[in-house]
Structure 1
Amino acid sequence: MSLYRLNRLFNPRSGRALDVAVDHGFFGERSFIAGIEDMERVVATLVRANPDAIQLTVGQARHLQSLPGKAKPALVLRTDVANVYGNPLDDHLFSHHLPNAIEEAVRLDAVAVCANLMHLPGRPEIREANIRSIMALRVEATRYGMPLMIEPLVMQDNARGGGYMVDGDVDKIVTLVRQAKELGADLIKADPTDDIANYHRVIQVAGDVPVLVRGGGRVDDRTLLERTAAVLDAGASGIVYGRNVIQHEKPAGITAALLAVLHDGSSVDEALAILDGAAA
């Protein structure tokens, strides 16, 4: 039954998906809402750009789902919230999922829900909390036929890497991705590796579970498109980008460029030409 909803996430021609994540405000970090203060406007802009999906929270999903018509991006619903991104970290850390997350996803007509699986150095209690959330969500997701996207995050020590820096060590990523599969992921949203040439190892360990690659921090357009092409060549089923789209000076243009690479097989130079010709 999960596959029925995923038919609305993946492009039928390419079998791939671009999910634009705009769930950053959920985590209570002031810096995360730069550029997305007006969510109604942001969602309207993204709908016009027409990615395959937009990732939103239970409090913001209405901006997408209240729009009439069938020709709009699908909804991916963020289900968990944590305070692990501060620098310095709070003395008390937590991670919780919405207790009625799957029912909310059904009511909101989501195509999938997303939950974290974090490895934070020296704080195993966060990973434990994530695993407890995933196990609870898996039960309800199975009952309602709701695809569960698990997001393995191998994080750096906040004191060294800042509040939102991930560790691109392929061995660490592979280990956490494998745990996500073992916990019953229908989809996996994984970080890029430091050496993209090693990304095939992430795809291999995920097996038959589709992998969507996270965008991470802001990079220049060519780097973003080259990395996108590389992970697709390695076998990724799509991408989940946030700041590289919503903080771009041409959000619709970069979306069109990314979609061209995903669905049309366009080269990086062809995609950059699409971006250059797009309106601001």
Structure 2
Amino acid sequence: MSQFRLNRLFNASSGKALDVAVDHGFFGESSFITGIEDMDAVVATLVRANPDAVQLTLGQARILQRIPGKQKPALVLRTDVANVYGDPLDSHIFSHHVPNAIEEAVRLDAVAVCANLMHLPGRPEIRESNILSIMALREQATRFGMPLMIEPLVMQDNANAGGGYMVDGDTDKIVTLVRQAKELGADLIKADPTDNIADYSKVIAVAGDVPVLVRGGGRVDDRTLLERTVAVLDQGASGIVYGRNVIQHPKPAGITSALMAVLHASASVDDALDIIEGSAA
């Protein structure tokens, strides 16, 4: 039954999806909410831009779902919260899921829920917490036919990375964690790009029949973002989950339109850049 909801996530013609993540406030880091302080305005902008989905938290999802009409982005619901992004890290770190997350997702008419699977060097208790959350969510997701998106996140040592999204793009580490997500019963996988983008076919292969959506990570220039998007799609990715590269863009509607053209109409990088250039701020 989970396929019924996924039919509202993926474009019927291309089979691809753009999910714009705006769940950053959940993690309690002040720098994460730059540019998204006014969530009503952010969601309104995204609804006008019309990506395939918007990823929100329990407390913000109603902003999207109370908007009338059928022609709006689908909801992906973030289900877990952690304090692993601080610099320095807190002495006690944690990761917890919302106990009734799946029932809340059903009530909110979400098309999927999202949960982390983090590898943080020297802190195996975080991955253990994530696995316990995923197993609990998997049981309820199966019961209610709710697709479960697992987000394998390979992180650098905080002391070396300087806080924030401490992504480690090592291919072997990403492949290993993606495979664990597959083994834990993911319906969707949201994975980081590899440092060597030509390796991404290995990530797709190890995920098997589970669709892989590629994370955007930190802000990059438009050409870099679009070239990376084309590269991962060419290797078999089923879509993208971009946050700051959309919501912190000076033309969020323009970059959304450009990404949608790449995903659903196989637009070239140069054509997509023209779309951004011709869009309103």
> What is the TM-score normalised by the length of structure 2?
0.99
Aligned residue runs from structure 1 range 3-82, under 5 A: 3-82=3-82
Give the AA of the match of 1:241: Y
Matches within 5 A, 1:111-122: 111-122=111-122
Matched with 2:220 is: 219
Summarize deviations over 1:171-210 as a string: whole Å, max 9, x none: 0000000000000000000000001000000000000000
Alpha-carbon offset, residue 131 of structure 1? 0.1
- Once residues 74 and 162 of structure 2 are traced to their aligned partners in structure 1, the CA distance between those partners, rounded to angstroms, is 32
For residue 156 of structure 1, what is the aligned residue in structure 2?
A: 156
| Matched residue, 1:136 | 136
**One-letter amino acid matched to 2:64:** L
In the alignment, what sits opposite 1:248?
249
Q: How many residues align?
A: 280
Q: What CA distance in whole angstroms lies between the structure 2 residues aligned with 1:70 and 1:31?
A: 34
Which residue is equivalent to 1:194?
A: 195
**What is the CA distance between 1:162 and its match in structure 2?**
2.3
CA–CA separation in structure 1 for the residues paired with 2:104 and 2:62: 12
2:270 & 2:61 partners in 1: Cα distance? 34
Identity of aligned residues (%): 84
Superimposed CA distance per residue, residues 97-144 of structure 1 (whole angstroms, 9 cap, x where no aligned partner): 000000000000000000000000000000000000000000000000
Q: Which residue of 2 aligns with 1:229?
A: 230
Instruction: Identify unmatched segments of 5+ residues in structure 1.
Output: none
Is the deviation greater in 163-172 or in 143-152?
A: 163-172
Distance in 1 of aligned mates of 2:127 and 2:203:
20
RMSD: 0.3
CA distance in 1, matches of 2:181, 2:46: 29
Gaps of 5+ in 2: none
**SS of structure 1 residue aligned to 2:3:** helix
Runs of 4+ in 1 over 4 A off after TM superposition: none
CA distance in 1, matches of 2:159, 2:26: 22
Distance 1:93 1:244 in 2: 28
Q: Distance in 2 between matches of 1:257 and 1:150?
A: 26
